[in-house]
């Protein structure tokens, strides 16, 4: 028998936390991650349906043992009401980006930017003679694909919300790849 805790692969995890909507709770959660050497890849927080609680979505990574500790340590915080490791379920993630791109570097860039926005069902929310500011929402793959398309134009600035995630209502829905096709999102080639 191996006495050491069995090490599994490091994987990405989405953790949803419901906390008391109180002064200082975010710093408790963030401080826990930094103090114990856990990673935060992205974090988003806002009040929930019940205004006395806040919802946090944390994207983190670690092997099974690390993630088990993250969840236990989060639960140990007095202000934390509930912790769910969404990665144990079928779930959806979304992130919103505001992207400012150059549109006048080469001839045709402005039209190209417009086409990319159409393809990815994004929106132009501000425009200047030399730039567009684009709003896009999607999962990681979509965002990454869109950024790859926009890169040749010259991206001036990106503001990201960080990812939010939600478990599917019907947990019996099949594998995640099949689920993505039913999202109604654009199909794109990578």
Partner 1 sequence: MKMSGAEMLLESLKREKVTHIFGYPGGVVLPVFDALYKDPSLQVILTRHEQGAVHAAEGYARSSNTVGVVLVTSGPGATNTLTGIADANMDSIPLVIITGQVPTKMIGNDAFQEADIIGMSRSCTKHNFLVRKITDLPRIIKEAFYIARSGRPGPVLIDFPKDIILEKADFVYPETVSIRSYNPTIQGNRWQIRKAAQTILKSRKPVLYAGGGIISSEAHKELLDLVTLTNIPTTLTLMGLGALPGNHPRFLGMLGMHGTYAANMAIHDADVLIAVGVRFDDRVTGKIAEFSPHSKVIHIDIDPTSIRKNFHVDVPIVGDARVILKDLIEELREISGGEDAFRHYQPWIEQISEWEKEHPLCYTFDKEVIKPQHVIEKIYQFTQGDCIISTDVGQHQMWTAQFFKFIKPNTWLTSGGLGTMGYGFPAAIGAQKAHPGKRVIAITGEGSFMMNIQEMATVVSLDLPVKIVILNNQYLGMVRQWQEFFYGSRYSSSFIGQSPDFVKLAEAFGMIGMRATRPEQVEDVILDGFSRRGPVLMEFQVDPEENVFPMVPAGGSNIEMIFESPGEKDDPKKRDSILTA
List of residues contacting partner 1 (CB under 8 A): 1-6, 19-20, 23-24, 27-28, 31, 35, 65, 68-69, 72-73, 75-76, 78-81
Of 11 and 115, nearer to partner 1 (C-beta) is 11
Q: Are 65 and 58 in contact (CB under 8 A)?
A: no
Q: Give the 3-state secondary structure of residue 167.
A: strand
Of 47 and 152, nearer to partner 1 (C-beta) is 47
Of 2 and 187, nearer to partner 1 (C-beta) is 2
Shortest Å, Cβ 22 to partner 1 = 10
Give 128's strand partners.
Answer: 131
Q: Are 150 and 143 in contact (CB under 8 A)?
A: no
Residue in this structure with the two tokens 């890849």, named with its chain if needed: 41
Shortest Å, Cβ 3 to partner 1 = 5
Shortest Å, Cβ 28 to partner 1 = 6
Angstrom distance (rounded) from CA 182 to CA 190: 18
């Amino acid at each position: 028998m191996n006495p050491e805790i069995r090490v599994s692969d490091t994987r990405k995890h989405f953790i949803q936390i419901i906390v008391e909507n109180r002064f200082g709770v975010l710093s408790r959660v963030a401080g826990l991650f930094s103090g114990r050497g856990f990673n935060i890849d992205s974090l988003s927080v806002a009040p929930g349906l019940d205004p006395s609680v806040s919802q946090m979505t944390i994207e983190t990574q670690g092997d099974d043992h690390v993630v088990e500790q993250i969840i236990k340590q989060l639960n140990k915080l007095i202000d934390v009401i509930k912790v769910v490791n969404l990665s144990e379920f079928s779930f959806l993630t979304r992130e919103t980006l505001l992207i400012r791109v150059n549109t006048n570097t080469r001839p045709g860039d402005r039209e190209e930017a417009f086409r990319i926005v159409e393809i990815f069902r994004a929106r132009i929310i501000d425009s200047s003679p030399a730039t567009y500011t684009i709003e896009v929402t999607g999962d990681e793959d979509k965002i990454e694909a869109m950024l790859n398309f926009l890169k040749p134009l010259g991206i001036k600035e990106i503001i990201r919300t960080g990812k939010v995630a939600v478990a599917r209502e019907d947990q019996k829905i099949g594998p995640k790849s099949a689920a993505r096709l039913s999202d109604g999102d654009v199909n794109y080639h990578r």
